[in-house]
C-alpha cells in the first residue's frame, strides 16, 4: 500500500519536500568524492527543444566510468528501504546480484526485468540466481530488445546508465551514469517499469528530461545535432544510422566543430569516411583489451555556452536502437553534467588516433537502380537475422527473402532500411529487392 500511494503522489508532483531532500542528500553523500567541483553547480536552465522542461540543478549527478567506479550504484542498491527496480540488457555482476538478493531477504520489494531477445543466454544465470532468492524477475518481451539500463530505488532515485551490469567490463570501458532525483523523471520511469513488469503496453512518459526509444529517441538525437551552432562532441559504440551520420556531416559542413570518438570497427568505416570528408574530426581507439573501449553513448552540443545540451543514455546510433528497441536516455542543459561529460570526451579525443579515410575518390551517383545488402545473426537459436540495405531507392519497399521467409521495410530518404528477417537458418542466401534493384547477402 505504501508503494502504491508513493507512486501516485510522485506522479502528481505532491511528494513531501523533506523526502525529496533526504533522497538528494543521500546521493550527494555517495558521489561527493567523485562528482564535479562546486564551481560547476548549475542553475535551472531554459527547457531543451522537444523536452517538457529542465530538471532542477541539484537533481542530477554524473558518474563517469571507469574513474568513479561502480561503488555509488552498489550503495544505492544496498541502501534501499522499500523497493528496487532494475531494467538491464545484460546482468553478470556477482556483487550487484548478491546486493539485490540481500535486499529481498530483508523485505525490500526487488523487481528485475532482463532482456531475452538477444541476451537470454547471457542473463539466464542471473535470472536463476535471483529467482531462487526471492527477487521478482521477469523476462522482457521476446520480440523486443530491451537495451535499457536503469535502476530505481525507493521510487525516489533513478540511475540512467550507458553501462550494463557486467563486472568484467567496468575497468576498461568508458561509460556514464546520471543519478536523477527529479520527481517527474522518476515517476515516468516507475510508471513505465510497472507496465513493463506487468506485461502491459505503454507509451513511456517523457518526464522532464527523458529520451525513450522508440518514441522520441531519433527526434531528440537529431534536435541536439541539428541545433548545434559551434561544437558537437560525440561518443558512441555504433555509427549505423545513416540519418544520424548525415546530420553530423551536415553540421560539420555548416561550420560546427564536430568531434567523434569511438572504438575502431570496420563496420563503421563507410560512416567514418562520410564524416571525415564532410570535415568532421573522427578519432578512434584500437579494439583490443589494453585500450579504453568506448561503450558510452553521449552527445554534447555547444559546451560552455548558454544553449549547451547533453544527451546520454543507452541509445546507440543505429536504426535498431533508435527505432525498435526499448532504450532510455536523458537530455539536459545541467551545467555540471554537460561540463563533466564534455571534459571526459575532450580527454578521450586527445588520447585517440585520427581516422584516415581509405584512398580513392568519392563514388559518383549510381546509374540505374542499385543496392547492397549485408546480414548478421541476431539470435542463432531462433534464426533471427538483421539485414541492412543501402540503395539509391529512397521511399521504396525493401523486401528480404530467404528459405521461404520474407519481410519488408520501407527505405528512408537516403535509401537505407534495416529489415528483421526471422526464420532462415544461419548461412542462408538472402535476396533483397528494393525498387528496381536486387542484391544478395549471407549472414
Cα 338 to Cα 312: distance, rounded to the nearest angstrom: 10
For the domain covering 371-442, report its CATH number: 2.60.40
Domain at 217-354, CATH homologous superfamily: Endonuclease Chain A (3.30.870.10)
Residue 216 carries which DSSP code?
A: T
CATH topology of domain 2-213: Endonuclease; Chain A (3.30.870)
Cα 162 to Cα 174: distance, rounded to the nearest angstrom: 9
pLDDT at 383: 62
Cα 43 to Cα 170: distance, rounded to the nearest angstrom: 32
* Burial degree of 136 (CB within 10 A; 0-12, 13-18, 19+): middle
Question: Which of these, 147, 135, 157, 117, lies nearest to 19 by C-alpha position?
Answer: 157
Q: For residue 157, list its beta bridge partners.
A: 153
Q: Evaluate whether 217 touches 244 at the Cβ level (below 8 Å).
A: no
**Is the bond preceding 214 in cis, omega lying within 30 degrees of 0?**
yes
Q: Is 388 helix (H, G, I), strand (E, B) or coil?
A: strand
* Burial degree of 102 (CB within 10 A; 0-12, 13-18, 19+): middle
443 residues of the chain, pLDDT tens digit each: 444 444 444 444 433 333 334 443 443 344 433 333 333 333 333 333 344 456 776 799 999 999 999 999 999 999 999 999 999 999 999 999 999 999 999 999 999 999 999 899 999 999 999 999 999 999 999 989 999 999 999 999 999 999 999 999 999 999 999 999 999 999 999 999 999 999 999 999 999 999 999 999 999 999 999 999 999 999 999 999 999 999 999 999 999 999 999 999 988 999 999 999 999 999 999 999 899 999 999 999 999 999 999 999 999 999 889 999 999 999 999 999 999 999 999 999 999 999 987 633 333 334 477 788 777 766 665 667 788 888 888 778 889 898 888 888 887 766 778 888 888 887 788 899 998 888 888 77
Q: Evaluate whether 48 touches 311 at the Cβ level (below 8 Å).
A: no
367 phi and psi angles, rounded to 5 deg: -95, 125
Cα 417 to Cα 402: distance, rounded to the nearest angstrom: 17
* Domains of the chain, residue spans: 2-213, 217-354, 371-442
Question: Which of these, 26, 27, 56, 23, lies nearest to 42 by C-alpha position?
Answer: 56
Domains 2-213 and 371-442 share a fold: no
pLDDT at 437: 87
pLDDT at 416: 78
Cα 426 to Cα 20: distance, rounded to the nearest angstrom: 52
Q: Evaluate whether 292 touches 266 at the Cβ level (below 8 Å).
A: no
Amino acid at each position: 500500500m505504501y508503494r502504491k500511494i508513493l507512486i501516485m503522489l510522485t506522479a502528481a508532483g505532491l511528494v513531501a519536500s523533506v523526502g525529496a531532500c533526504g533522497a538528494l542528500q543521500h546521493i550527494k553523500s555517495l558521489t561527493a568524492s567523485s562528482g564535479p567541483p562546486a564551481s560547476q553547480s548549475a542553475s535551472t536552465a531554459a527547457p531543451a527543444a522537444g523536452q517538457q522542461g529542465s530538471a532542477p540543478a541539484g537533481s542530477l549527478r554524473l558518474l563517469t566510468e571507469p574513474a568513479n567506479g561502480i561503488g555509488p550504484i552498489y550503495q544505492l542498491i544496498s541502501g534501499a528501504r522499500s523497493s528496487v527496480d532494475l531494467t538491464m540488457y545484460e546482468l553478470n555482476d556477482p556483487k550487484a546480484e548478491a546486493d539485490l538478493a540481500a535486499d529481498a531477504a530483508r523485505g525490500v520489494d526487488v523487481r528485475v526485468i532482463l532482456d531475452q531477445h538477444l541476451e537470454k543466454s547471457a542473463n539466464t544465470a542471473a535470472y536463476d540466481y535471483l529467482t531462487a532468492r526471492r527477487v521478482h524477475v521477469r523476462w522482457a518481451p521476446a520480440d523486443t530488445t530491451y537495451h535499457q539500463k536503469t535502476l530505481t530505488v525507493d521510487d525516489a532515485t533513478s540511475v540512467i546508465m550507458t553501462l550494463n551490469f557486467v563486472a568484467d567490463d567496468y575497468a576498461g570501458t568508458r561509460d556514464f551514469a546520471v543519478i536523477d532525483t527529479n520527481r517527474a523523471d522518476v515517476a515516468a520511469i516507475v510508471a513505465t517499469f510497472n507496465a513493463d513488469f506487468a506485461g502491459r503496453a505503454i507509451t513511456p512518459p517523457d518526464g522532464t528530461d527523458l529520451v525513450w526509444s522508440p518514441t522520441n529517441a531519433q527526434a531528440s538525437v537529431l534536435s541536439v545535432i541539428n541545433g548545434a551552432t559551434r561544437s558537437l562532441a560525440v561518443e558512441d559504440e555504433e555509427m549505423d544510422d545513416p540519418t544520424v551520420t548525415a546530420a553530423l556531416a551536415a553540421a560539420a559542413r555548416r561550420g560546427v566543430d564536430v568531434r567523434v570518438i569511438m572504438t575502431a570497427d570496420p563496420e563503421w568505416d563507410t560512416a567514418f569516411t562520410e564524416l571525415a570528408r564532410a570535415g568532421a574530426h573522427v578519432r578512434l581507439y584500437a579494439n583490443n583489451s589494453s585500450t579504453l573501449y568506448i561503450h558510452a553513448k553521449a552527445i554534447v552540443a555547444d559546451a560552455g555556452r548558454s544553449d549547451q545540451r547533453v544527451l546520454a543514455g543507452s541509445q546507440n546510433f543505429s536504426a535498431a536502437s533508435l527505432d525498435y528497441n526499448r532504450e532510455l536516455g536523458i537530455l539536459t542543459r545541467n551545467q555540471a553534467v554537460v561540463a563533466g561529460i564534455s571534459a571526459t570526451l575532450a580527454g578521450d579525443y586527445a588520447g585517440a588516433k585520427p581516422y584516415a579515410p581509405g584512398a580513392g575518390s568519392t563514388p559518383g551517383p549510381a546509374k540505374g537502380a542499385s543496392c547492397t545488402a549485408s546480414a548478421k545473426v541476431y539470435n542463432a537459436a531462433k534464426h533471427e537475422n538483421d539485414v541492412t540495405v543501402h540503395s539509391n531507392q529512397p521511399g521504396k519497399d525493401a523486401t528480404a527473402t530467404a528459405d521461404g521467409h520474407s519481410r519488408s521495410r520501407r527505405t528512408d530518404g537516403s535509401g537505407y532500411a534495416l529489415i528483421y528477417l526471422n526464420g532462415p537458418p544461419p548461412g542462408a542466401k538472402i535476396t533483397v529487392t528494393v525498387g528496381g534493384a536486387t542484391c544478395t547477402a549471407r549472414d
